[in-house]
Amino acid sequence: MSGYMGKLLTVDLTRGELGDEPLEPTWAHDFVGGAGYAARYLYDELGPDTDPLGPENTLMFMTGPLVGTRAPSCGRHEVCAISPLTGIWGESNSGGFWGAELKFSGYDGIVIRGRSQSPVWLSIVEGQVPTLHDAASLWGLGTYETQQRLRDEMDDQKLRVASIGPAGENLVLYSAIMNDHGRAAGRTGMGAVMGSKNLKAIAVRGRQRVPLADRQAFRLTTKHALQTVIDDITSQVYCQMGTASFVDMSMMWGNMPNKYWSQAQFDKATNLSGVTMMETILTRSVPCYGCAVACGREVTLKDTPYGVEVVDGPEYETVAMLGSQLLVDDLPGVAYAGHLCNRYGLDTISAGSSIALAYLLYDRGFITSADTGGLPLKWGDVEVAHTLLEMIALRKGFGDVLADGVKRISARYEAGDLAVHVNGLEPAAHDPRALSGMAIIYATSPRGACHMQGDMYAVDMGLTFPEVGIHPSGRFKTRGKSKVAAKVQDWRTLYNSAIMCVFVNPTAPVLAKLLSEVTGWSSDIVLWQRAGERIFNLKRAFNNRLGIRRGNDRLPERLFIPMSNGSKGRTPRMETLLGEYYACREWDWNTGKPTRDKLISLGLQEIAEELWA
Amino acid sequence: MSGYMGKLLTVDLTRGELGDEPLEPTWAHDFVGGAGYAARYLYDELGPDTDPLGPENTLMFMTGPLVGTRAPSCGRHEVCAISPLTGIWGESNSGGFWGAELKFSGYDGIVIRGRSQSPVWLSIVEGQVPTLHDAASLWGLGTYETQQRLRDEMDDQKLRVASIGPAGENLVLYSAIMNDHGRAAGRTGMGAVMGSKNLKAIAVRGRQRVPLADRQAFRLTTKHALQTVIDDITSQVYCQMGTASFVDMSMMWGNMPNKYWSQAQFDKATNLSGVTMMETILTRSVPCYGCAVACGREVTLKDTPYGVEVVDGPEYETVAMLGSQLLVDDLPGVAYAGHLCNRYGLDTISAGSSIALAYLLYDRGFITSADTGGLPLKWGDVEVAHTLLEMIALRKGFGDVLADGVKRISARYEAGDLAVHVNGLEPAAHDPRALSGMAIIYATSPRGACHMQGDMYAVDMGLTFPEVGIHPSGRFKTRGKSKVAAKVQDWRTLYNSAIMCVFVNPTAPVLAKLLSEVTGWSSDIVLWQRAGERIFNLKRAFNNRLGIRRGNDRLPERLFIPMSNGSKGRTPRMETLLGEYYACREWDWNTGKPTRDKLISLGLQEIAEELWA
């Protein structure tokens, strides 16, 4: 018997009905869990007629087989639905403790349908019947306050809460679902989907042990895996300096964007680095569940005018998107901006990008102070960014415009060619001019310009999984790059199904072994890599049905304007990258769909029939 | 008394009423005629609430003081209205004989308001009352056939006819108004405005002499001016090889665009050159009224499968937009494409750009044969372009999409950053990467990416009007360039008001003298250059009222992607160009409007009051 035969909680918010549903065993096997399982599940109920903010969009919170075990860095959960920001497949995963806690409560995931008439929150506590509660008094609260209120109300300071803030309530298209302390399912606007359903929060608590097919073997493998993670120098770097440790090297390479992708270097960026943070405002490193890395930051803003003391500190993406992109080098100011995003429930990448685009449009005369309600948007001004973040979350004045993300902002001001996004999602702070691998990743990711499936920026820095064919090559290389990128995508797709964090990992065979020992299925790496490939192609089919064609596999033209210094005037050779990518993916050049044969070879017979009908 | 005190014919198509209206003398003095007079006239009756294709848009056909005189190359007329393609100031001028003939009929211009219930055409024949006629039997006819039918019907083979073709009838947003043999008021979709009014054609005939303030002096100055034009080597080049004589040099410089602005060189372009045309299919050079240059082409397609014998041949813009932009080097094929544009009444620049963008989108997988109705769009295939031109004119199938121009096509396929236009108008075949002067011209022209006001490409080739401060400088120069560009704009704005052709001109003092001798006003160059500046600023104010801000003064991001070879990897330094431009124009950096003081100093007190209210 498999060790992975759990259940889902189904919630019909329209009718106020809750129920249990077992995992479909063949889906669990073929799509693992997390975003993989959700993709298969949602494939059958969402489609081109789904309004992402309508009651017909289904929102899934998913854990996976490794979540809540002692395997390293496996406390994460996935949130999936059609994205209101992009109109295609939406997914976002978050760390912290919430995912593991959901597992401890006895559930592998939650399926949320419909729309509540009035605000509610959901409790899932082991030993109690899962219950919907009135959330009228929570509506309008920030995410930290919401968590504290529910802990107090349930009289349990270890209650784990995932909630939206005002941004999600106000349907900001890139609002996040926050959990624990400053952990975010940030990307693709899952917070807005939750807000559209009038669901403010989900509180979870439990003490069940996660079932394991081979507990003894798993304990040994875990010990070995953990040691690998601990011994990795990156763990120590991340622990001491967080992901912002990457700032100086990233700037040197031309990877960190400045002035909304328009300036090659920002010499003050070092003021935003992890080293500076460590030497100035850092109070401690914060780990997620079962993590030996602890890249999370806690910083003090005691000596600032912001009226807060200790807050969750910014990661690399945040210091780039709310720092260098605005030519801001004031680290406490950026940390406070990040804190506002956490409190209001905003994705820092999309929020920072939207604000940076607004600064650029102001600079270039597309918008004037008449548009902004008198606010001058000047490069380097972080105070205005603070004001804008609140205006965005509340959709107040000019904030209402920025709340829709760069694609819609740029369309409004007829500056579509100045917006940097892929299929509506703003890229992370990895400039594809500096790393050719990120070019093909952004262009082909199932959720737009995504840096998480996969992290070719890390591969170009030296990350390797030799057993699944993932090797570094020159950062400007073109030939052969797409093949590796596709393997990274498949591999990371397994991660977001398992679910394991992508920062500092055991080797591929060890991960396969861990999965095998939890589920009772094969430990053959090829099968697990193939599961990743299956899921990746399934998401592609999901998107093809929503209108994605080959033409969508691209970067904005702006990113072909060469930059001096770090990226040395290089720009991605998309034609070659895409040609090789399509060849190794076996996708159809004309339609952009996976070929019928490819889908069938991955065991996706049903999908093949429908997609090629 | 002034020699320039004419009248306008006013036509109310809704009521079927025609009337005469004298020119407003102060406007004639301050705004000269042509597009200048039209801009002042239309400023008072068009605005942000005007639907360009509604009966409330007013369409003006204007001549100017020089039109119909013996001054060199002064047979032109202007057509003005709000453009349905761009939503801002629309104007287009055309050569041939129609403008001069209108003047001979006793009118300086025609003001057309409202919308006829059913198709009509208008006759303006000296000695007869101007009359609207039923055009039911003409609707659907090509422009050549329309002209012939009206000549036969009026029994006058010297009748001059301006008409729309099927494109204008079907409201193709870049449809032209054609006159005489293949002469076009091509740009900004004036044909669609005419079509929206159900006005098929305007036939004119007359024998009145154009009044001159000092006939004797004018005769001498004209003789001198003509000799200047004849002696200019460019006249001989244009006469023998047409404007396509520019192909080889233009390609060498990286000025001629290929593969829709994405490829630096097209080595087969020489097959499209004026020399090749002269050596292969040219039958004769065709002059317009009073022209010693004769850049017009007549070519034979006898040995082709196109079923036509002798047609009007293509100019430089046409061989670029329907040739090199599609990687087509088949000159007869391109000539036939140009002929189709003439027959259907399409602007070759916008039509070619729309088709080239479609080829690019097809190549890159944005559109597939499912979108095109099975037509494969392959670089180098001119036959498909022929098919598309007909589909566009008739708004048939995929042609209906292409009929809306590159801005709307790209929006439809979410590829706004691939479209090359400024404020909705597709640029001519002068790549601003090759000529920095064209960058600032495109960015600031009153009608979008316009090469006619002014022709900095010619200045960068050596054109000079030293008396008004127009001197060539290096083609990649930035500093000081905008000042010259602004002077060129002002100077050419005088030309399109006078109206004189921009190809091969007398010196500035001679033009001022000609204008003085016709009108009786001063011969001071400064006053005439100032009239150009006044009109240019008036058009700017007209556009500001329609929403134009500083942000609109720009080039698409694609044109900042450097090209090898001809343009040597250079790209325009817009920030400097625009900064200097605003400084010398005295425009407000925040709003993009001419400052109040500037407007007042130009005698535009009323405009200043309204714009800065």
pLDDT digits (tens, 9 = 90+) for A233-246: 999 999 999 999 99
| Residue given tokens 């597309």 in the structure block | A366
User: What amino acid is encoded at A534 in this protein?
Assistant: R
3-state secondary structure (DSSP) of residue A576: helix
Q: How many percent of chain B have pLDDT more than 90? A: 98
Taking a C-beta distance cutoff of 8 angstroms, is the pair B358, B367 a contact?
yes
What are the residues facing A327 on neighbouring strands?
A: none
Strands A282-286 and A109-113: unpaired
- How does residue B143 score in pLDDT terms, banded at 50, 70 and 90? very high
To the nearest whole Å, the CA of A220 is away from the closest chain B CA by 50
CA distance linking residue B230 with residue B235, whole number of Å: 6
To the nearest whole Å, the CA of B608 is away from the closest chain A CA by 19
Span B6-16, average pLDDT = 97
- How does residue B4 score in pLDDT terms, banded at 50, 70 and 90? low
The torsion angle over the Cα atoms of residues A498, A501, A507 and A511, rounded to 10 degrees, is -20
To the nearest whole Å, the CA of A557 is away from the closest chain B CA by 6
User: Mean pLDDT across chain B, nearest whole number?
Assistant: 97
User: Mean pLDDT across chain A, nearest whole number?
Assistant: 97
Handedness of CA A219, A225, A230, A234 (dihedral sign): negative
pLDDT for B404 equals: 98
Chain A residue closest in CA terms to B561: A561
Q: Is B474 exposed, middle or buried (0-12, 13-18, 19+ CB in 10 A)?
A: exposed
A506: contact with B, CB 8 A cutoff? no
Task: Work out how many CB contacts closer than 8 A connect A with B.
Answer: 81
The two three-digit tokens of residue B587, written as one number: 């425009």
CA distance linking residue A259 with residue A357, whole number of Å: 9
Span A326-333, average pLDDT = 98
To the nearest whole Å, the CA of B543 is away from the closest chain A CA by 15
| Cβ separation B551–A367 shorter than 8 A | yes
pLDDT for B449 equals: 97
CB contact residues (below 8 A), chain A span 338-397, against chain B: 361, 364-369
- How does residue B558 score in pLDDT terms, banded at 50, 70 and 90? very high
Does pLDDT of B312 surpass 60? Answer: yes
Does pLDDT of A86 surpass 70? Answer: yes
pLDDT for A4 equals: 63
Does pLDDT of A1 surpass 50? Answer: no
Q: How many percent of chain B have pLDDT more than 70? A: 99
Q: Is B420 exposed, middle or buried (0-12, 13-18, 19+ CB in 10 A)?
A: buried
B87: left (phi over 0), alpha (psi -120 to 50) or beta: left
The two three-digit tokens of residue A419, written as one number: 């917006």
pLDDT in tens, A112-157: 999 999 999 999 999 999 999 999 999 999 999 999 999 999 999 9
The two three-digit tokens of residue A155, written as one number: 């009289």
CA distance linking residue B190 with residue B175, whole number of Å: 7
pLDDT in tens, B94-142: 999 999 999 999 999 999 999 999 999 999 999 999 999 999 999 999 9
| Cβ separation A551–B361 shorter than 8 A | yes
Closest CA to A509 of A472, A459, A465: A465
pLDDT in tens, B333-378: 999 999 999 999 999 999 999 999 999 999 999 999 999 999 999 9
Does pLDDT of A587 surpass 60? Answer: yes
pLDDT in tens, B21-74: 999 999 999 999 999 999 999 999 999 999 999 999 999 999 999 999 999 999
Span A560-568, average pLDDT = 94
B417: contact with A, CB 8 A cutoff? yes
pLDDT in tens, A255-312: 999 999 999 999 999 999 999 999 999 999 999 999 999 999 999 999 999 999 999 9
In A, which residues are within 8 Å of B592 by CB distance? 365
What are the residues facing A133 on neighbouring strands?
A: A121
Task: Tell me how many degrees the CA angle A533-A538-A542 measures, rounded to the nearest 5.
Answer: 150
Chain B residue closest in CA terms to A376: B590
Taking a C-beta distance cutoff of 8 angstroms, is the pair B488, B459 a contact?
yes
3-state secondary structure (DSSP) of residue B510: helix
The two three-digit tokens of residue A493, written as one number: 């797709």
Residue A15 burial (CB count, 10 A): 10
Span B264-293, average pLDDT = 97
Strands B282-286 and A160-163: unpaired
In B, which residues are within 8 Å of A416 by CB distance? 410-411, 416-417
Residues 6+ apart with CB under 8 A from A370: none
In A, which residues are within 8 Å of B560 by CB distance? 561
Span A408-424, average pLDDT = 96
- How does residue B1 score in pLDDT terms, banded at 50, 70 and 90? very low
Q: Which of B85, B412, B557, B581 to mutate to test binding with chain A, by most A CBs within 10 Å of its CB?
A: B557
- Give me the residue from B369, B557, B562 closest to A418, CB to CB: B557
Taking a C-beta distance cutoff of 8 angstroms, is the pair A194, A103 a contact?
no
DSSP 8-class letter at B149: H
> What are the distances in angstroms from CA A105 to CA A33, A75, A123, B295?
17, 14, 10, 84
CA distance linking residue B30 with residue B531, whole number of Å: 6
- How does residue B565 score in pLDDT terms, banded at 50, 70 and 90? confident
Alpha-carbon Rg for chain A, nearest whole angstrom, is 22
Q: Which residue has the higher pLDDT, A535 or B461?
A: A535
Span A574-599, average pLDDT = 97
CA distance linking residue B434 with residue B249, whole number of Å: 12
| Cβ separation A364–B551 shorter than 8 A | yes
CA distance linking residue A296 with residue A97, whole number of Å: 13
For A71-114, the DSSP string reads: STT---EEEEEE-TTTSSEEEEEE-SSHHHHHHHTT-SEEEEES
Span A543-551, average pLDDT = 97
Closest CA to A206 of A128, A150, A125: A125
Q: Which of A371, A421, A555, A557 to mutate to test binding with chain B, by most B CBs within 10 Å of its CB?
A: A557
Q: Count of alpha carbons within 13 Å of A232, Cβ hemisphere only?
A: 21
B592: contact with A, CB 8 A cutoff? yes
A564: contact with B, CB 8 A cutoff? no
Span B145-154, average pLDDT = 98
pLDDT for B394 equals: 98
pLDDT for A386 equals: 98
